[in-house]
Amino acid sequence: MKYVKFYSLILSVLLFSCSKKATLQTKITSPDNNVEVAFKLSEKGTPTYEVLFKNKTIIKPSTLGFEIKDQPALANDFEIVNVAISNFEETWEMPWGEQKEVENKYNQLKIELQETAALKRKLNLVFKVYNDGIGFRYEFPEQENLSEVLIMDENTQFNLSGNHKVWWAPGDWDIYEHLYNTSNFNEIDALSKANHPNLGQHTYIPENAVNTPVTMKTAEGLYLSFHEAGLIDYSDMTLKVDTENLAMTSNLVGSRNTVYKVKRTVPFNTPWRTMQIAEKAGDLIESKLIVNLNEPNKLGDVSWFKPAKYTGIWWEMHLNKSTWDYGMTMVDGKWVDTGNAHGKHGATTENAKAYIDFSAKNNIGAVLIEGWNTGWENWIGFDDREGVFDFVTPYPDYDLEEVARYAKEKGVEIIMHHETSAATETYEKQQDTAYALMQSLGIHAVKTGYVGAILPKGEYHHGQHMVNHYNNAVMKAAKYQVAINAHEPIKATGLRRTYPNTISREGLRGQEFNAWASDGGNPPAHLPLVAFTRMLGGPVDYTPGIFDIKFDKWKKDNQVNTTIAQQLALYVVIYSPIQMAADLIENYEGNPALQFIKDVGVDWQQTKVLNAEVGEFVTIARKERNSENWFVGAITNEEAREMEISFDFLDENATYSAIIYEDGENAHWNENPTSINIREIALTKQSKLNLKLASGGGFAISIIKK
């Protein structure tokens, strides 16, 4: 059901003062009345908003506005021209996702403003107030004195109500692959992390600012998470931190090529500035605020893509078992096999077939093959990267057509790989050809990569130029029935609702860091933090499932910092419609824990967070779409714990057969990570279980209806 109602202006606007510049205040509450947004113009005519939860202020009066190039700031001397309040309710279906049906229900306040003097510029503000938080955006309507806007910065303030505990990553203009930090708000120091030694690529942190989603807990125990939704033709928003006044202000990502940060033609709307509000940490994960704030599906039928588990020629390169490159030489601008092949190339036809066979045998739907195309010899550390890669020419030992044919015969999908090395012009020129080739081979998904400094020089990964590049790639790919899993991407802001072929992305410190980071890799607290920060933006291609936790055969100084049971739990805890079984296939053979990866679903009817605390632990139960089966995953940080799980989410009068994969007696992420206990029991709706999680451990349960 979908309906929209308009209330009259008179009811919603209270006249607060009768001064010349009337200070008007108008309010709106969420459908359940718990969240309230109050808007007013200050004495100076500055748009100001405040947010309350259960009648307590959580965002103190905060101002809104812009600095515009060659014009006065668009921030003061406004008057209210019109106020409209409406409400909206619908239920929409995700083609794949954490749940099938999503309720989208909010009350909306739209305020039309105009400057009282000089240019008489117009600016609208729209607030959508949900039970689980708010979203607001600026709208630049058609007007006389403003046609093109060059935004020097957006000054959206968030004045916090206290010195909250914050889970944050630095506001980097070039990379999201930092570890999360935990501190009080007044102790945030993003700059001290600026020269992080382990980043795979460029980093630039110009201010003491945080990236979003940034999550907080108030002294009263309320959870807040700040982010953005619908990032289209605009710059990524970082949040500048004022540790003295406990306030954040938007700080858009810029470019070294322009003095301004965003260029737009009027009319246009900014992305939504969002704030999730939850009394329980788990409710942040269950919230659908970010996707709800995005436009409905514009692609129509996308059934050509199917959620899948996948293996890949991938981890072996990160372990240095094999290489992406073959050993070719560039002669007169062309890659030539001059007989210097080193024999360690990973993406051979034979190896690809071995992965296809393994996937087919183990209910794994797809295989990713990296390093199949020419160009890898000049991948990292080359200034002149344009024209190095192409996305149609395989290395001499890789028969693209034959691999595609063989995969089809075995009922396995191929996931294509396009490492652009951040040379965006080369990629843009070749997209049509590359996606058309994929379509002709029946390949419906590609993993893209943007390692290195962005070309053209001067652009950052997260500026408007690249936001457009990433979004255009998704739209172009859709025309060829191709879905994209971007690495070194722009942040996830719920656009998967509008363009469902945005299937997954990296945008965090992924599993790969465990293979080579010199700081020891991702600590046990990493994923219990990711679940409440990065994951709130959308699907995460973390690439779980490493069984050979220490991989001493390949690298003595690196390891995964979890138990094997936690690696299994990640298939449920970390959501993505493509979920990798990342280890070398030989490490799976003969291991009984593989059964969980075989069984676990990748597409969900329903998701329930059973217990959670940010950065500490989280247990999630998900019901598979198109079956009656449930899967449960729990992970913990370094703290070992015991928890009671109640299975009251199961159907009444039904019996289920469950396989529990739990940490073994003396399991420990470092001392004894591969110790796992696997047992089978019967479960009903009345069942309760006490389960133990080792330090850095977890458990996974498959629950099959009898």
Positions that interact with ligand NOJ (CB under 6 A): 314, 370, 419, 449, 451, 487, 506, 510, 512
Number of residues that bind Ca ion (CB under 5 A): 1
Token pair of 187, please?
Answer: 């102790």
Q: How far apart are CA 580 and CA 562, in angstroms?
A: 17
Q: Under a CB-based contact definition with an 8 Å cutoff, are residues 28 and 109 in contact?
A: yes
Q: Which of 370, 512, 624, 662 is catalytic?
A: 512
Q: Give the nearest residue (CB) to Ca ion.
A: 487
Q: Which residues pair with 427 in a beta bridge?
A: none
Report the DSSP pairing between strands 483-486 and 445-449: parallel
Which lies closer to ligand NOJ via its Cβ, residue 96 or residue 176?
176
CB of 447 to Ca ion, least distance (A): 11
CB of 370 to ligand NOJ, least distance (A): 5
Question: Could you tell me which of 184, 182, 282 has the C-alpha nearest to residue 531?
Answer: 282
Which lies closer to Ca ion via its Cβ, residue 358 or residue 376?
376
* Residues 6 or more apart in contact with residue 327 via CB below 8 angstroms: 340, 341, 342, 345, 377
CB of 177 to Ca ion, least distance (A): 6
528 contact choice in ligand NOJ, Ca ion, none (CB below 5 to 8 Å, kind-dependent): none
CB of 201 to Ca ion, least distance (A): 8
* Residue 262 host element (H or E): strand 262-265
* Core vs surface per residue 601-635: b (16+ CB within 10 A) or e: bbbbbebbbbbbbbbbbbbbbbbbbeeebbbbbbb
CA distances from 645 to 145, 264, 683 (A): 62, 52, 12
Half-sphere exposure of 362 (CA within 13 A, CB side): 28
Show the binding pattern over residues 473-502: x = contacts Ca ion (CB under 5 A), - = does not.
--------------x---------------
Query: Omega before 213 cis (within 30°)?
Result: yes
| DSSP letter, residue 627 | S
Q: How far apart are CA 578 and CA 685, in angstroms?
A: 30
Which lies closer to ligand NOJ via its Cβ, residue 47 or residue 510?
510
236 contact choice in ligand NOJ, Ca ion, none (CB below 5 to 8 Å, kind-dependent): none
* Residue 403 host element (H or E): helix 400-410
* Residues 6 or more apart in contact with residue 583 via CB below 8 angstroms: 315, 545, 546, 547, 548
Report the DSSP pairing between strands 502-505 and 483-486: parallel
659 contact choice in ligand NOJ, Ca ion, none (CB below 5 to 8 Å, kind-dependent): none
Q: Under a CB-based contact definition with an 8 Å cutoff, are residues 5 and 86 in contact?
A: yes
Q: How far apart are CA 28 and CA 89, in angstroms?
A: 16
CB of 234 to ligand NOJ, least distance (A): 25
Half-sphere exposure of 26 (CA within 13 A, CB side): 25
Question: Could you tell me which of 298, 252, 255, 296 has the C-alpha nearest to residue 271?
Answer: 252
Q: How far apart are CA 413 and CA 652, in angstroms?
A: 37
- 3-state secondary structure at position 87: strand
449 contact choice in Ca ion, ligand NOJ, none (CB below 5 to 8 Å, kind-dependent): ligand NOJ
CA-angle at 513, arms to 342 and 286, nearest 5°: 135
CB of 510 to ligand NOJ, least distance (A): 6
Which lies closer to Ca ion via its Cβ, residue 133 or residue 200?
200
CB of 322 to ligand NOJ, least distance (A): 12
Which lies closer to ligand NOJ via its Cβ, residue 6 or residue 382?
382
Which lies closer to Ca ion via its Cβ, residue 45 or residue 507?
507
Which lies closer to ligand NOJ via its Cβ, residue 112 or residue 419?
419
CB of 203 to ligand NOJ, least distance (A): 15
Query: Omega before 267 cis (within 30°)?
Result: yes
- 3-state secondary structure at position 599: helix
* Residue 135 host element (H or E): strand 133-140
Interacting positions 376-435 with Ca ion (CB under 5 A): none
CB of 202 to ligand NOJ, least distance (A): 13
Q: Under a CB-based contact definition with an 8 Å cutoff, are residues 698 and 634 in contact?
A: yes
CA distances from 23 to 18, 73, 139 (A): 8, 20, 21
459 contact choice in Ca ion, ligand NOJ, none (CB below 5 to 8 Å, kind-dependent): none
CA–chain centroid gap for 695, Å, is 26
Q: Under a CB-based contact definition with an 8 Å cutoff, are residues 131 and 241 in contact?
A: no
Which lies closer to ligand NOJ via its Cβ, residue 370 or residue 413?
370
Which lies closer to ligand NOJ via its Cβ, residue 40 or residue 487?
487
- Looking at this protein, which amino acid is placed at residue 625? R
Q: Which residues pair with 47 in a beta bridge?
A: 41
Q: How far apart are CA 120 and CA 79, in angstroms?
A: 10
Which lies closer to Ca ion via its Cβ, residue 487 or residue 623?
487
Interacting positions 13-72 with Ca ion (CB under 5 A): none
Half-sphere exposure of 341 (CA within 13 A, CB side): 14
512 is catalytic: yes
CB of 314 to Ca ion, least distance (A): 12
370 contact choice in Ca ion, ligand NOJ, none (CB below 5 to 8 Å, kind-dependent): ligand NOJ
CB of 519 to ligand NOJ, least distance (A): 17
Interacting positions 88-147 with Ca ion (CB under 5 A): none
Question: Could you tell me which of 241, 54, 52, 39 has the C-alpha nearest to residue 157?
Answer: 241
Which lies closer to ligand NOJ via its Cβ, residue 543 or residue 675?
543
- 3-state secondary structure at position 584: coil
Footprint on this chain of Ca ion (rule: CB under 5 A): 487
Q: Which residues are catalytic?
A: 512
